[in-house]
A and B are shown apart, each in its own frame.
Chain A
Amino acid sequence: MADYDTHDYDVIVIGAGGAGLRAAIEAEERGLRTALVCKSLLGKAHTVMAEGGVAAAMGNVYPEDNWEVHFRDTMRGGKMLNNWRMAQLHAQESPDRVRELERWGALFDRTEDGRILQRDFGGHRFARLAHVGDRTGLELIRTLQQKAVSLGIDVFMECKILRLLPDAEGRISGAVGYMRPTGEVVAFTAKSFVLATGSIGKSWKYTSNSWESVGDGHAMAIWAGADVIDMECVQFHPTGMVWPLSVRGLLVTEGVRGDGGVLRNSEGKRFMFDYVADMFRAETAETEEEADGWYDDHANNRRTPDLLPRDEVARAINSEVKAGRGSPHGGVFLDIASRRSSEYIRRRLPSMYHQFMELAGVDITAVPMEVGPTCHYMMGGVRVDADTAAATVPGLFAAGEVAGGMHGANRLGGNSLSDLIVFGRRAGIGAADYAEGRAGSPSVDAAEIGAVIDEVYAPFGREDGRNPYDVQHELQETMQALVGIIRTGSELEEALGKLEDFKEQTSKLSVKGGRVYNPGWNLATDLPSMITTSIAVTQGALHRKESRGGHTREDFPGPDSELGKVNFVQRQTAERGYLAPISVNPEPLLEMPPKLRALLEEGS
């Protein structure tokens, strides 16, 4: 067995996007020995991709906004599948977390009277997103990164964690992985661990997610025996780029629509007026005149249907393309050029302007963009306690995209950045409390580490296995074709069969070259996570025989009120790991207090 370094801390945070950074800051400020472990360089995590803003009911633009309205919007957007307590804490605490970012150096755009400016976004009744042009995620991650550096938090960069390890009592006490620049195995022990590993979106062909989003945290939690919920709830963002093919899936911010852009089909028609679900009819404009009036006067006009929640818009675009009214490259048109001045577009949407100009040769101030749905966000994830972010196995905490429950069946735009800072902080507190209350030094079984080492280096010794790139490619084609935006039972069954084959192939991969910064080998070590999360998504989708939020079943096109009362909970019990089965069981949602339930009825 190879030699390896072991590092011991009180709290270890895996993942250094917004949630991981915020959790580590909290634990470090409590005086605990804290380390951040991240798969890329510090400051490169997927949070930098967030564009539109961070949702917080600060009431700077509309004084009538408050946490109760934000709570209501979040629950309705999530089609009531949300963990109500998470939605409540999120709505109540996000304004303080935004102000905290400002105290740490963030420079948000301002109102006329010098306060933080807020912009309109889909599903939010009032202009609510604090923002910095269309690069809010960069501002958030850089602010948290600089705060973390100033606190002197230890950071292990370009370190891939493979497995969480329990002690003899079943408490998560260790983690094992490898340093990408050397390929050497490294082990960590700590009194508590926070998962903040982000998404799973790289298992689809067209995705806004980077190579990192392979579901490491979701998978490691399952392999550690933790519950995951709502895995069928994957968000397809309505507006990804569709051309050129090489950038297909790249995100086009909802801020384009928040700032006046509208969707049109090949006939030039604003088709979203034809796709207003009953649930949103009362609050949505019926005519173009009313919709256009809404941007400047929310009191006397109802909102444009272009800003319905993302699941609604994505399905509408899908239907238009299917009906033959799509754009030349298989999307629809997103038009802001004919509606706002060139100067306004370049000031409000500088990243989008450059993205289209440099990658597609399209000037968005002159012509419409072509856009279509792209795999974007994972609502489902590790089942956590709302207040402490504790998972269902002791010593493990989760925050951000890897945690489930906050967003229910569909996330509203802007609620992700706020989720990161609200629950990142709470996970930091939860993990710190747990670490302080835990006696003795954490210890793990060296034989388990040895088994992980043997497995991770095994592909170097095989001659005749498959190329990991080929398996990944086929997995992405499968998930795109069979577990995409519109699903049906027979295709989901077919996908599960193929995923079984991918399991087999992944246990027999071959890789070339050495251990030092070897992307082929690194991908081979990502595939188990991709397979476990893909299976969980497909199983959840098969069990949820209804359409709700991001989960749409062609064979069950409407919502089912009974299924709306349960989460599908998945877990591994006896056997663990990506080759072992995962059970699926419906369990009732948390009971919502009547006072909060009453808020949901208002204005609906």
Chain B
Amino acid sequence: MAENQRAGEANHADVTMRLWRGDPSGGEFTDYVVPAVEGEVVLDVIHRIQGTVAPDLACRWNCKAGKCGSCSAEINGLPRLLCMTRMDTLPPGAPVTVAPMKAFPIIRDLVTDVSFNFEVAKTIPAFQPGPEPEGGYRMAQVDVERGQEFRKCIECFMCQDVCHVIRDHEENKPKYAGPRFFIRLAELEMHPLDVNDRRELARQGAGLGMCNITKCCTEVCPEHIKITDNAIIPMKERVVDAHYDPVAWLGRKILRRTKKTAPEASAG
């Protein structure tokens, strides 16, 4: 533990922020004692520390309103958005521990290299609508709402961070897309206009089968997306139908379904 540092003037109530500081070669937690201010979130306190005693404290953030998903970190061991975690919801009197997301390589302090996610995004075959009718597409509100739930995703990547298929198993990353991209696949699969078929991709390339439905992703989602129940489980069912149902398989062969398989979709 590094030495205590003070940020700002003393107050009747101080809080101890125990922040991880370091780089890829290693690091440690450093305590910063700061006055408590009513209504603040964890990110406010980090900003006060940056503005005073630790101007080089690395922390990624943007909107400070829970809309951009930049400031993901692990607060007292749980993935949270720094900007949406109020200090007064944390145990009083105890130090507040803030560490970088564990599933991704460290850049510095609280900032991690999340490029894994941007690489996975490149492998998802694009949305492809069917022909547009005269007067434009028509969709019912009830049909768009299924996809809208998944499109609430702010790409904070905390579901990826908490998913133990990759959190503790770096070797799984090349064959596992993770919850964020399972909801992307589900969103496209359930999109009323999309004609691509991504079930084979979900099964093989994205590693949907490796998920064993522990719902950790759903629990940490700041947008309260029901990742497991509404995306992963329905996708698993669809993949099973496509893969093991001999009647459906024969039907596909004979009727030349309009939906393409993922490799075809990737090709064009």
Assess A48 versus B86: contact at CB under 8 Å? Given A135-B152, A511-B56. Answer: no
Assess A181 versus B62: contact at CB under 8 Å? Given A149-B122, A520-B50. Answer: no
Minimal beta-carbon separation of A263 from chain B (angstroms):
22
Contact A358 B86 (CB under 8 A): yes
Residue in B37, B40, B113 whose beta carbon sits within 8 Å of that of A181 in the complex: B113
Binds B, one of A83-91, A241-249, A495-503: A241-249
Assess A103 versus B132: contact at CB under 8 Å? Given A149-B121, A246-B41. Answer: yes
Q: Does A481 contact B (CB under 8 A)?
A: no
Contact A40 B109 (CB under 8 A): no
Binds A, one of B12-20, B65-73, B159-167, B211-219: B65-73
Which chain A residues in 195-243 approach chain B with CB under 8 Å? 210-212, 243
Query: Which residues of chain A come closer than 8 Å to B129, judged between CB atoms?
Result: 103, 105
Q: Does B44 contact A (CB under 8 A)?
A: yes
Q: For the complex, what is the distance from the CA of A13 to the CA of B143, rounded to whole Å?
A: 36
Q: Does B2 contact A (CB under 8 A)?
A: no
Query: Which residues of chain A come closer than 8 Å to B151, judged between CB atoms?
Result: 107, 132, 138-139, 142
For the A-B complex with A105-B127, A113-B138, A150-B126 known, give 4 more contacts whose Cβ atoms are closer than 8 Å.
Answer: A107-B151, A114-B139, A247-B39, A469-B51
Contact A244 B38 (CB under 8 A): yes
Q: Does B108 contact A (CB under 8 A)?
A: yes
Q: Does A109 contact B (CB under 8 A)?
A: yes
Q: Does A110 contact B (CB under 8 A)?
A: yes
Minimal beta-carbon separation of B122 from chain A (angstroms):
6
Q: For the complex, what is the distance from the CA of A287 to the CA of B147, rounded to whole Å?
A: 41
Query: Which residues of chain B come closer than 8 Å to A41, judged between CB atoms?
Result: 60, 70, 114, 118
Q: Does B111 contact A (CB under 8 A)?
A: yes
Contact A518 B127 (CB under 8 A): no
Assess A518 versus B58: contact at CB under 8 Å? Given A244-B40, A358-B86. Answer: yes
Contact A516 B108 (CB under 8 A): yes
Q: For the complex, what is the distance from the CA of A415 to the CA of B44, rounded to whole Å?
A: 32
CB closest chain-A residue, reference B23? A516
Chain A 450-492: CB-based contact to B (< 8 A → 1; otherwise 0): 0000000000000000011110010000000000000000000
Q: For the complex, what is the distance from the CA of A146 to the CA of B44, rounded to whole Å?
A: 32
CB closest chain-B residue, reference A112? B141
CB closest chain-B residue, reference A151? B126
Which chain A residues in 517-575 approach chain B with CB under 8 Å? 517-521, 523
Q: Does B64 contact A (CB under 8 A)?
A: yes
Minimal beta-carbon separation of A536 from chain B (angstroms):
25
Query: Which residues of chain A come closer than 8 Å to B118, judged between CB atoms?
Result: 41-42, 149, 155, 157
Most chain A CB within a 10 A radius of its CB, from B62, B66, B121, B122: B62
Residue in A110, A467, A468 whose beta carbon sits within 8 Å of that of B141 in the complex: A110
Assess A46 versus B63: contact at CB under 8 Å? Given A146-B126, A247-B39. Answer: yes
Q: For the complex, what is the distance from the CA of A212 to the CA of B61, rounded to whole Å?
A: 10
Minimal beta-carbon separation of B195 from chain A (angstroms):
12
Q: For the complex, what is the distance from the CA of A157 to the CA of B107, rounded to whole Å?
A: 14
Contact B70 A359 (CB under 8 A): no
User: Interface residue tally of chain A, by bracket?
Assistant: 35 or more
Residue in A49, A147, A212, A512 whose beta carbon sits within 8 Å of that of B65 in the complex: A49
Query: Which residues of chain A come closer than 8 Å to B140, judged between CB atoms?
Result: 110, 114
Question: Can you list 26 A-B contacts with CB-CB less than 8 angstroms, sorted by A residue number?
Answer: A48-B68, A102-B137, A103-B129, A105-B126, A105-B188, A107-B139, A107-B151, A110-B140, A114-B140, A115-B136, A115-B138, A135-B67, A138-B151, A138-B154, A139-B151, A146-B126, A210-B62, A244-B40, A245-B37, A246-B37, A246-B39, A358-B66, A467-B51, A469-B52, A513-B55, A520-B50
Minimal beta-carbon separation of A367 from chain B (angstroms):
17
Q: Does A351 contact B (CB under 8 A)?
A: yes
Query: Which residues of chain A come closer than 8 Å to B44, judged between CB atoms?
Result: 246
Q: Does A44 contact B (CB under 8 A)?
A: yes
Q: Does A104 contact B (CB under 8 A)?
A: yes
Which chain A residues in 33-47 approach chain B with CB under 8 Å? 40-46
Q: For the complex, what is the distance from the CA of A360 to the CA of B86, rounded to whole Å?
A: 9
Q: Does B33 contact A (CB under 8 A)?
A: no
Contact B64 A250 (CB under 8 A): yes
Query: Which residues of chain B come closer than 8 Å to A247, judged between CB atoms?
Result: 39, 41, 64-65
Minimal beta-carbon separation of A253 from chain B (angstroms):
11
Query: Which residues of chain A come closer than 8 Å to B23, judged between CB atoms?
Result: 516
Query: Which residues of chain B come closer than 8 Å to A133, judged between CB atoms?
Result: 148
Contact A107 B191 (CB under 8 A): yes
Which chain A residues in 92-117 approach chain B with CB under 8 Å? 99, 102-105, 107-110, 113-115, 117
Residue in B51, B60, B68 whose beta carbon sits within 8 Å of that of A473 in the complex: B51
Q: Does B78 contact A (CB under 8 A)?
A: no
Q: Does B99 contact A (CB under 8 A)?
A: no
Q: Does A301 contact B (CB under 8 A)?
A: no
Contact A110 B39 (CB under 8 A): no
Q: Does B84 contact A (CB under 8 A)?
A: yes
Assess A211 versus B62: contact at CB under 8 Å? Given A41-B70, A517-B107. Answer: yes
Q: For the complex, what is the distance from the CA of A516 to the CA of B57, rounded to whole Å?
A: 10
Q: For the complex, what is the distance from the CA of A113 to the CA of B138, rounded to whole Å?
A: 7
Q: Does B144 contact A (CB under 8 A)?
A: yes
Which chain B residues in 186-243 approach chain A with CB under 8 Å? 188, 191, 194
Query: Which residues of chain B come closer than 8 Å to A351, judged between CB atoms?
Result: 67
Q: For the complex, what is the distance from the CA of A46 to the CA of B64, rounded to whole Å?
A: 11
CB closest chain-B residue, reference A350? B152
Query: Which residues of chain B come closer than 8 Å to A117, judged between CB atoms?
Result: 141
Query: Which residues of chain A come closer than 8 Å to B109, judged between CB atoms?
Result: 517
CB closest chain-B residue, reference A132? B148
Query: Which residues of chain B come closer than 8 Å to A137, judged between CB atoms?
Result: 67
Query: Which residues of chain B come closer than 8 Å to A315, judged between CB atoms?
Result: none
Residue in B50, B70, B191 whose beta carbon sits within 8 Å of that of A519 in the complex: B50
CB closest chain-A residue, reference B117? A41
Query: Which residues of chain A come closer than 8 Å to B84, judged between CB atoms?
Result: 358-359
Q: For the complex, what is the distance from the CA of A44 to the CA of B62, rounded to whole Å?
A: 7
Q: For the complex, what is the distance from the CA of A41 to the CA of B113, rounded to whole Å?
A: 10
Which chain A residues in 401-428 approach chain B with CB under 8 Å? none
Assess A521 versus B56: contact at CB under 8 Å? Given A114-B140, A181-B113, A360-B39. Answer: yes
Query: Which residues of chain A come closer than 8 Å to B63, judged between CB atoms?
Result: 44, 46, 48-49, 210
Contact A519 B62 (CB under 8 A): no
Contact B50 A469 (CB under 8 A): yes
Contact A109 B41 (CB under 8 A): no
Q: Does A593 contact B (CB under 8 A)?
A: no
CB closest chain-A residue, reference B146? A107
Assess A517 versus B108: contact at CB under 8 Å? Given A210-B62, A250-B65. Answer: yes
Which chain B residues in 129-182 approach chain A with CB under 8 Å? 129, 132, 136-141, 144, 147-148, 151-155
Q: Does B34 contact A (CB under 8 A)?
A: no
Query: Which residues of chain A come closer than 8 Å to B114, judged between CB atoms?
Result: 41
Minimal beta-carbon separation of B177 from chain A (angstroms):
14
Assess A512 versus B56: contact at CB under 8 Å? Given A147-B126, A246-B40. Answer: yes
Q: Does A348 contact B (CB under 8 A)?
A: no
Contact A108 B144 (CB under 8 A): yes
Query: Which residues of chain A come closer than 8 Å to B154, judged between CB atoms?
Result: 48, 138
Q: For the complex, what is the distance from the CA of A114 to the CA of B137, rounded to whole Å?
A: 8
Contact B64 A109 (CB under 8 A): no
Query: Which residues of chain A come closer than 8 Å to B107, judged between CB atoms?
Result: 181, 516-517
Which chain A residues in 330-366 approach chain B with CB under 8 Å? 351, 354-355, 358-360
Q: Does A514 contact B (CB under 8 A)?
A: yes
Query: Which residues of chain A come closer than 8 Å to B82, judged between CB atoms?
Result: none
Minimal beta-carbon separation of A158 from chain B (angstroms):
8
Query: Which residues of chain B come closer than 8 Å to A523, judged between CB atoms?
Result: 55
Query: Which residues of chain A come closer than 8 Å to B52, judged between CB atoms?
Result: 469
